């Protein structure tokens, strides 16, 4: 089954600094890849997705991610962090081994933004 | 536009009690999913329904049953609740995986 690994359960950045959240996937075929954000006590919201079109994907709130097949990575970046970006971020991959192509999620990275 | 609606939002059960978590979507999505979220574990798939009339087990199905009542509704039942089932449960739906999921706001379940 396809899976993702998120490196770093907690990441802390200063307001205005670059945000880099890491995600590596395991898949023998080109997968669908997603980043979701979860604000406290809320459900998950789709940030962006890769579905085999452009390798650089732009999402909401100024986030983007680059699909790198050679590195099996799909890291999430944002040039300048805002306080409102503090949340939990999840990388997910579609599992082609089940009939529903259900998503397998990473364990999450908690982003802290300091003034 | 309600999206995905989960009820209840909070529930406390005693060990051995049963309950059903309800989920309904109004987006005419084909597929629906139940996940549980535990600290440090991310989201783990319990059951899914790729289309109306079908259900399949996910990663952690033990202790749960599901019913895809119609295209809109997908319920999750705990027959005999255990403390290990204390978690936040999320329902999600999608028209097709490539488009991503729409999530409900979750049910926070505590089993004592």
pLDDT score, position A82: 96
pLDDT score, position B45: 94
User: Is cis: bond before B8, omega within 30 of 0?
Assistant: yes
Which tokens belong to B2?
A: 């309600």
pLDDT score, position A1: 74
Q: What is the mean pLDDT of residues A85-103?
A: 85
DSSP A33-48: EEEEEE-TTS-EEEEE
**Closest Cα partner for B70 from B25, B103, B19?**
B25
pLDDT single digits (tens) A49-70: 988 778 899 999 999 999 998 8
Nearest CA-CA distance, residue A86 and chain B, Å: 17
**CB < 8 Å to B92, chain A:** 44
Which tokens belong to A37?
A: 């954000």
- To the nearest whole number, what is the mean pLDDT of chain A? 91
CB A31 within 8 A of CB A96: yes
Residues ≥6 apart with Cβ < 8 Å to B46: B34, B35, B36, B58, B59, B60, B61, B64, B66, B76, B89
**CB < 8 Å to B102, chain A:** 46
**C-beta atoms of A100 and B48 within 8 A:** yes
**C-beta atoms of B56 and A103 within 8 A:** no
For residue A77, pLDDT over 70 is answered with yes
Query: Which carries the bigger pLDDT value, residue A29 or residue B37?
Result: B37
**C-beta atoms of B100 and A49 within 8 A:** yes
Nearest CA-CA distance, residue B36 and chain A, Å: 11
**C-beta atoms of B98 and A9 within 8 A:** no
For residue A41, pLDDT over 90 is answered with no
Band the pLDDT of A99: cuts 50, 70, 90: low
The DSSP call for residue B99 is G
- To the nearest whole number, what is the mean pLDDT of chain B? 94
Separate counts of helices (H) and strands (E) for chain A? 0, 11
For residue A28, pLDDT over 90 is answered with no
Please report how many Cα atoms fall inside a 13 Å half-sphere around the Cα of residue A89, on the Cβ side.
32
pLDDT score, position B1: 63
Residue A32 phi/psi, 5-degree rounding, is: -95, 135
- Secondary-structure percent of chain B, ordered helix, strand, coil, rounded to 5: 5, 55, 40
CB A4 within 8 A of CB A106: yes
For residue A98, pLDDT over 70 is answered with no
Q: How many Cβ contacts (< 8 angstroms) between chains A and B?
A: 65
The DSSP call for residue A61 is G
């Amino acid at each position: 089954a396809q899976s993702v690994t998120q490196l770093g359960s907690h990441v802390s950045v200063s307001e205005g600094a670059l945000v880099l959240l890491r995600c590596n996937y395991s898949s023998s075929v080109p997968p669908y890849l997603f980043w979701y954000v979860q604000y406290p006590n809320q459900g998950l919201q789709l940030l962006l997705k890769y579905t085999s079109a452009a390798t650089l994907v732009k999402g909401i709130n100024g986030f983007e991610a680059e699909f790198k097949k050679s590195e099996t990575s799909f890291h999430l970046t944002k040039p300048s962090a805002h306080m409102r970006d503090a949340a939990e971020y999840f990388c997910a991959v579609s599992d082609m081994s089940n009939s529903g192509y259900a998503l397998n999620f990473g364990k999450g990275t908690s982003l802290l933004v300091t003034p | 536009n309600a999206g995905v609606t989960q009820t209840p939002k909070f529930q406390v059960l005693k060990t051995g009690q049963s309950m059903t978590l309800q989920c309904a979507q109004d987006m005419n999505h084909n597929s629906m999913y139940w996940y549980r979220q535990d600290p440090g574990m991310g989201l783990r798939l319990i059951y899914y329904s790729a289309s109306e009339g079908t259900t399949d087990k996910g990663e952690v199905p033990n202790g749960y049953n599901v019913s895809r009542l119609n295209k809109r509704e997908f319920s999750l039942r705990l027959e005999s609740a255990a403390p290990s089932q204390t978690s936040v449960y999320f329902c999600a739906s999608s028209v097709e995986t490539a488009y991503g999921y729409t999530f409900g706001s979750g049910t926070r379940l505590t089993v004592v």
